[in-house]
Structure 1
Amino acid sequence: MDVKKLKEELIDFSKEIGIDKIGFTTADTFIELKNRLIKQQELNYQSGFEEANIDKRVTPSLLLEKPQSIISIALAYPAKMRVRVKSKTGERRGIFSRASWGMDYHHILRDRLKKLEEFILTKVPNARLKSMVDTGELSDRAVAERAGIGWSGKNCAIITPEFGSYVYLGEMITSIPFEPDSPIEDQCGTCTKCIEACPTGALVQGGQINAQRCISFLTQTKNLIPDEFRDKIGNRLYGCDSCQTACPVNKGKDFHFHDEMEADPEISKPLLTPMLKMSNREFKTKFGHVSGAWRGKKPIQRNAIIALAHFKDISAIPELTDILQNEASSVLKGTAAWALGKIGGESALAALEKAKKNETDNEVQQEIEKGLSFYK
């Protein structure tokens, strides 16, 4: 087997199937990453969505028998909507982060990785391969950094010279000894714009994030959003792009290479009030194909309520009142109570006072008190 030739053929094939960048690295253990992950765990900075077993996250040999190399791929996604819609009084809109525009990127990258696997197996039928995207054991960013896809920025994202940090990442562990590519030198320098732009101070320092404070993480939780973060969330329904949009490398970066990644503005920047009444089936029909829907409708509805409070949207008071009176979820009821107080007005006050007399859930009662406190 001519591994050098196979690598060249694989690079050419990757371009044919819509992979924007490909890199190769060894299957050695990610020793430095392991130390960082242990520290993150000690500090309780992890989100809880990651693979719990740190050894699996850093040791390719635990995931594939006798691995020899790892292939890293990157696909560039758009930074701007081709068709834009504006939020206006009475028709306020929320926003999904750029990484959740278009089709769920997990499906897109798995498609590309599957095609790469099939190509490799036509050349090396006995090759052992294991692909993963995001939810796999390995750290996509650590693999991409070592494979020369980009450098790990202070915002904890991989930044590529060509596409900035607007890239989806995936990887494949292989039993083929591909020659590794060289990592890219860190180019962040003394810039700290991403750290300064983080609304909640989640970027503790360059390259270190407290996921528990990250808005992207918070929008995916299922409980009540802690008080200190509610005003920071704004109209974000899923994810956060602040540390990306602040990055000077990302300035002017906007690539539209993949039709399946294009944003439908009515999905990526939807009207808020209609979301409050959606059934599970309606939510799945409209949003089920985007990555931001993976936690179901209730976290998105909770975030929509916070967004309506952010806009002080008086027209939403009847819907918020209905949630407070009739919704089964204490999280949605409680968030609606807080939002009514935030929006203000006599009808909102009346709804809160009525709920205070009738509500039996202690958690919701606390939120009603928070709502009423805005009138004091």
Structure 2
Amino acid sequence: MNVKQLKDEIITYSKEIGIDKIGFTTADPFTEMKNRLIRQQELGYQSGFEEKDIEKRVDPSLIFEEPKSIIAIALAYPSRMNDAPKGKKGERRGIFCRASWGVDYHTILRDKLRQLEQFIAEKVPEARFKSMVDTGELVDRAVAERAGIGWSGKNCSIITPEFGSYVYLGEMITNLPFEPDEPIEDQCGSCTKCLDACPTGALVQGGQLNAQRCIAFLTQTKGFLEDEFRVELGNRLYGCDTCQTSCPKNKGMNFHFHEEMEPNPEIAKPKLTPLLTISNREFKEDFGPVSGSWRGKKPIQRNAIIALAHFKEESAVPDLIKVLTDDPRPVLRGTAAWALGKIGGTDAKESLHKAEKTERDPEVLKEIEKGISLCSMKAK
């Protein structure tokens, strides 16, 4: 087997099947990343969605027998929506982050990796693989950085010279000894625009993220959001792009290479009020194909309520009152109570006083009290 020739053939084939960038690295442990992850754990900065075993996240030999190398891939996604609908008074809209536009990227990248596996297996029948996208044990960013896909930016994203940070990442561990590519030198320099722009200060310093304060993480949680985060959420329904849109390396980066990544504007930027009463079936049909639906409809609905409060959308008051009085989920009832207080008005205030007499959940009652207080402040 001529490994160098095989590597060249893989690179050529990867372009034919629509992989925008490919890199190769060793299967050595990611020692520097291990130290970072331990520090993150000590500080309580992890999201909780990660693989719990840090050793598995940094040592390919613990999840694959006799690994020799890792192939990293990247696919560029659009940063601007064609014909994006505009929200207006009485018809406000929320927004899903760019990484949740189009078909779920896990599906897209797994398909590309599967095609690569088949191609290599035809050339080398004894080849073995373990591919992963986002939810695997390894840290995608660490693999991509060492494989020369891009450098790890201060915004904790991989930034490529060709596509900025608007790329999806995936990797494949294999028992084939490919020659590693050279990493790309860090090009962030003294720039701190992403750190300065982060709404909640989640970017503690360059390359260090406190996930517990990151809006992208918070939009995926299912409980009550702290008041300080509700204020910063704006109309975000899933994810946050601020640390990417503020990055100078992303200026002018907008690629529409993959049809399946093109957003349905009514899904990527949906009307808010209908989300409050969307059924499970409707949610699955409309939002099921996008990555932002993975936590179910509850976080999206909670965020939609907060977005209506952000807009102070008076037309939504009857719908919010219905959530407050009829929804069986305390988080939605309580968030609706807070939103009614933010919007204010006679109907909102009356509904809050009425709900206060019948509500039994202590957390919801706290939110009703907040709402009444907010209404009183507006009346002054």
Q: TM-score range by the shorter chain?
A: over 0.9
Q: Secondary structure at the match of 1:176?
A: coil
Hey, what does 1:74 align to over in structure 2? Answer: 74
Superposition pairs of residues 31-110 of structure 1, within 5 angstroms? 31-110=31-110
Distance 1:315 1:102 in 2: 30
Q: How does 1:1-376 map onto structure 2 within 5 Å? A: 1-374=1-374, 375-376=376-377
What is the deviation of 1:358?
1.1
TM-score normalised by L of structure 2: 0.99
Paired with 1:345 and 1:181, the residues of 2 have a C-alpha distance of 62
Q: Letter of the 1:243 partner, please give it.
A: C
Tell me, what secondary structure is at the counterpart of 1:120?
Answer: helix
Q: CA RMSD in A?
A: 0.4
Unaligned runs of 5+ in 2: none
How far apart, in 2, do the equivalents of 1:82 and 1:234 lie?
A: 22
Task: Give me the whole-angstrom Cα distance separating, in 2, the residues matched to 1:139 and 1:262.
Answer: 26
Once residues 365 and 269 of structure 2 are traced to their aligned partners in structure 1, the CA distance between those partners, rounded to angstroms, is 32
Q: CA deviation at 1:84?
A: 1.1
Distance 1:129 1:327 in 2: 47
In percent, how many aligned pairs have the same letter? 73
Deviations 1:33-69 (A, max 9, x none): 0000000000000000000000000000011111000
Q: Distance in 2 between matches of 1:282 and 1:264?
A: 15
Using the TM superposition, give the Cα deviation of residue 304 of structure 1 relative to its aligned residue in structure 2, in angstroms. Answer: 0.2
Given the two structures, how large is their TM-score scaled by the length of structure 1?
1.00
* 1:191 Cα offset (Å): 0.1
Work out the CA distance in 2 between the residues paired with 1:321 and 1:304.
14
Shift of 1:88: 0.3
Distance 1:322 1:82 in 2: 35
Equivalent AA in structure 1 for residue 270 of structure 2: P
Q: How many Å separate the matches in 2 of 1:27 and 1:157?
A: 21
Q: Is the Cα–Cα contact under 8 Å of residues 64 and 128 in structure 1 kept in the other structure?
A: no
> Using the alignment, how far apart are the partners of 1:267 and 1:83 within structure 2?
13
Letter in 2 for 1:85: P
Distance 2:239 2:129 in 1: 32
Offset of residue 200 of structure 1: 0.2
| Structure 1 consecutive aligned stretches of length 4 or more whose deviation exceeds 4 Å | none
Q: Matches of 1:351 and 1:251 in 2, distance apart?
A: 47
Structure 1: runs of 5+ lacking an equivalent: none
Cα shift readout 1:221-262 (whole Å, capped 9, x = no counterpart): 000011110010000000000000000000010000000000
